[in-house]
Structure 1
Amino acid sequence: MIDSILAWAGEHHEQAVWLVPLLAFMETCVGVGLFVPSLMLVIVTSVFYANDWANLWVMATMAMIGSSLGDHVGYYAGRAIGHRVHGWRIIQRNAERWERTETMVRRYGVWAIFIGRFIPAIRSLVPAMMGVTEFERARYTLFDVAACSLWALGLVAIVKGAHTLFLPS
């Protein structure tokens, strides 16, 4: 799949940069994020940077916005469905992951937003859990944007580090 994405991007440089926020959104959006590996975003961003198809800081900003939008979809979905999720089959099949996430959210509160942002296995579940636990909306947005910004800086560090390691000047 990544080969197809990169092949298309190679032919459509100007439009391809929009894959960055799309992939960031998909990897963080509740449900979808369980099936979209975060490595795809790192690879796409690295290839775009290495080929000078897009500015790294622009891509990091776009990734931050896409990831925060994905988080907010999860948060508001969690607020809308509340505790009814425990009866869903998909939650029951992933009960251990859901329980770990719920425990982390209740124990760490605000820090769960930051911790969850950097753990791919639960990244898409934490925002929904924050909504389910009815964490205050304004505080959620503030801390989510901060966590996504820090995460975007991490993306810059990974891409620059990989570029330096594999393509030294």
Structure 2
Amino acid sequence: MDSFLAWIANNPSYAHYLVMGLACFEALVGIGLFISGALLLSVAIFLYAQQLASVEAILFFAFIGATIGDQSGYWIGRRIGPTFHTSKFAARYRRHIERTEALIRRYGWGAILIGRIIPAIRSIVPLITGISGYNGLKYLFFDLLAVGIWTLLLGAAIIGTSGLFAS
């Protein structure tokens, strides 16, 4: 991690792209299961504490990246939804899938918000929401709200813990 942070310090012009990429990748279906939000938080804190990027810029690019990741997952889910429901996997777990989709339809905005805040399910909820056929415009609205709340929490974490990386 030290060599990675040293690379960032020596290449500050890439900082915004890195924040946006990490925020996007941690939200993407499949990739998000392997890219930890802790990495984004560590990089963001480092950038802020070393004065390589302002907190406003970090949050702006994190918001954009997270929104792109979430929306990609949703639209992938919408695209594969009909095929997914006829797959062997869906047949095997039909009861669980039906229950999850019913929860999303009933508590859509809450599921979207919780899905954005909890790292373990962050990349899965947009996909399941898309598969369930949840309205795209409603998803966009609630996702932007959820990403906004997540961004504020990220900002609080950056400012609250930036002393850990201060020089």
Regarding TM over 0.5, the answer is yes
Equivalent residue for 2:49?
A: 50
Matched, 1:80 2:45: no
Shift of 1:84: 3.3
Equivalent residue for 1:15?
A: 14
> What aligned pairs does 1:9-158 form with structure 2 within 5 A after superposition?
9-85=8-84, 102=101, 104-158=103-157
Equivalent residue for 2:161?
A: 162
Q: CA RMSD in A?
A: 2.9
User: What CA deviation, in whole Å up to 9, does each residue of 1:135-168 have, x standing for no partner?
Assistant: 111111111111101100000001111125x479
Structure 1 residues 80, 147: closer, same or farther in 2, change over 3 A? same
Instruction: Name the count of aligned residue pairs.
Output: 166
Structure 2's unaligned 5+ residue stretches are none
Shift of 1:16: 2.3
Aligned 8 A contact 2:16 2:58 in 1: yes
Shift of 1:98: 7.1
Shift of 1:58: 1.1
Shift of 1:60: 0.5
Matched position secondary structure for 1:53: coil
TM-score (norm 2): 0.86
Query: Which segment drifts farther, 41-50 or 155-164?
Result: 155-164
Shift of 1:108: 1.5
Aligned 8 A contact 1:98 1:125 in 2: no
TM-score (norm 1): 0.85
Letter in 1 for 2:43: V
Aligned 8 A contact 2:41 2:154 in 1: yes
User: What CA deviation, in whole Å up to 9, does each residue of 1:42-89 have, x standing for no partner?
Assistant: 000000000000010111111011001000110000000005336779
Give, in whole Å, the separation in 2 of the partners of 1:30 and 1:64. Answer: 17
Give, in whole Å, the separation in 2 of the partners of 1:123 and 1:100. Answer: 19
Give, in whole Å, the separation in 2 of the partners of 1:88 and 1:63. Answer: 35
Give, in whole Å, the separation in 1 of the partners of 2:29 and 2:22. Answer: 13
Structure 1's unaligned 5+ residue stretches are none
Aligned 8 A contact 1:101 1:126 in 2: no
Give, in whole Å, the separation in 1 of the partners of 2:22 and 2:121. Answer: 16
User: What CA deviation, in whole Å up to 9, does each residue of 1:84-111 have, x standing for no partner?
Assistant: 336779989x99x978854642442121
